[in-house]
Amino acid sequence: MEEEARRLEAWLRQGAHGQMAYMENHFDLRTDPTKLVPGAKSVICLTFNYHNPEKQKDPEAPRISQYAYGQDYHYLIKHRLKSLLYFMQEKIGAVSGRCFVDSAPVLERDWARRAGLGWNGRNTLTIHPRRGSYFFLAEIICDLPLAYDDPIRDHCGTCRRCIDACPTEAISPEGYFLDASKCISYLTIELREAIPAGFKGKLDNWMFGCDVCQEVCPWNRFAHRHDEPAFEPHPDLLNMTKRDWVELTEEVFGQLFRKSAVKRTRFSGLQRNIKFLEEQ
C-alpha cells in the first residue's frame, strides 16, 4: 500500500489526527498486512449495516450518532467474523487468519475500496452506490489465496453537499481530506481535554458523534434500515428530552449505555459535551 502509506504520512504530518497519537503507531503494520498475519495472501472485506432512520423525539435534545444507538459493534461484529473464519476452516481446511473490526492498525477504507465495497467519498467515508455509507467495515486477513474483486469508480462527481454542510469545516474545500481535529466526532469522542472555545456554536447540537456528512449525502437515499436486534436503541433513549439529558445522572447513563460504544466517552465526557452545548 505504497500510495496509501504516502497519503497517511502526509495526513499525520499536517497534524490532522489531533490527539489521536495511536494513529502514529505501528505504521508498518498499517501498510503491510503480512506483518499482522504472517503469510497473508488475502484481505476479505465486509460491511455491516447499522442504519436506523428513527430520530430522537425532542428536536432540541442533544443528538447522538445513530451508529451508537445500540450495542457496541466491535464485539458483535467480531463474533460474526470469527464464526465466518471457523466456517472457512471447516469447509476448506487449514486457514490461518485474524479478524479485525476498527480496533487494530488496518487501513479499512483503503482495503474496502480495493475490494469493490465502495469508493472513498469526498467526506472520506466508504460509499456504495446501492447502499450508501451507513455501515461498519470489518476484515479477515488470511493466508488463503482467492479470486479478487476490482475497485469501483468514484461517483461523487461534482457534488459538494458534505463539504458545504460540515458545521466545523473539517472537510477540505475539494474534499477527500478530513482534518479530524475539527471533526465533531473527534471533539465529542476522541478528545479527552476541554473542547476548544472556538467551536462554540458549531457543534450542531451533537453530544456524541455526528452524522451530518452522511445525512446530506445523496447516495444515502438508497440506505435501508438494519435488521440487527442488538443495534436497537434502549427503549428510553430516543424519548429523552433536552432536560433529561441536561439532568443526566451516572446511574441513568449506565442503564442507557450498558453495552454501548458511548461508554468510550464515559459519563464525564458526555457531561462535558452536554455542558459545552448548553454554553453555546
Report the sign of the C-alpha dihedral through residues 133, 135, 141, 144, in that order.
negative
Q: Which amino acid is at 169?
A: E
CA distance linking residue 132 with residue 125, whole number of Å: 10
CA distance linking residue 277 with residue 156, whole number of Å: 32
- For residues 171 and 122, the answer to whether their CB atoms sit within 8 Å is yes
Smallest Cα–Cα separation from 167: which of 212, 207, 209, 198? 212
CA distance linking residue 140 with residue 44, whole number of Å: 5
Cβ atoms < 10 Å from Cβ of 13: 8
CA distance linking residue 222 with residue 219, whole number of Å: 6
| E-state strands within 114-241 | 119-120, 126-127, 135-142, 206-208
Residues annotated as catalytic (active site), given as ranges: 102
DSSP secondary structure string, 73-121?
HHHHHHHHHHHHHHHHHHHHS---EEEESSSSS--HHHHHHHTTS-EE-
